[in-house]
Amino acid sequence: MPDLILDGRALRVAEGTSVAAALALGGDGCSRTSVSGQRRAPLCGMGICQECRVTIDGRRRLACQTQCRDGMQVETRP
């Protein structure tokens, strides 16, 4: 069971959980904040819409296309 840090809070998820699912399990379900200040959330779940962009270990990634790993740092806020 991977342990990750989501916006500074510890979260344990089941093996194989996507980061998009972890956002719903341990956060507000949102992945980022738009330039106009609106919170955005995963939409398509299959790598098309790009709404699930998050920062994982300092790099921008698609939450729906990334599985949680032990020690992963996920940030949804600027």
Q: Which residues are near ligand FES by CB under 6 A?
A: 42-45, 47-52, 62, 64
Nearer to ligand FES, 25 or 43 (CB): 43
The alpha carbon of residue 52 and the mean position of all alpha carbons in its chain are separated, in whole angstroms, by: 7
Nearer to ligand FES, 11 or 18 (CB): 18
Shortest distance, position 53 Cβ to ligand FES, whole Å: 8
User: What are the φ and ψ backbone dihedral angles of 22, each rounded to 5 degrees?
Assistant: -65, -35
Listed as own residue / partner, the contacts of 24-31 with beta carbons closer than 8 Å and 24 or more positions apart are 27/76, 30/76, 31/63, 31/76
Nearer to ligand FES, 2 or 45 (CB): 45
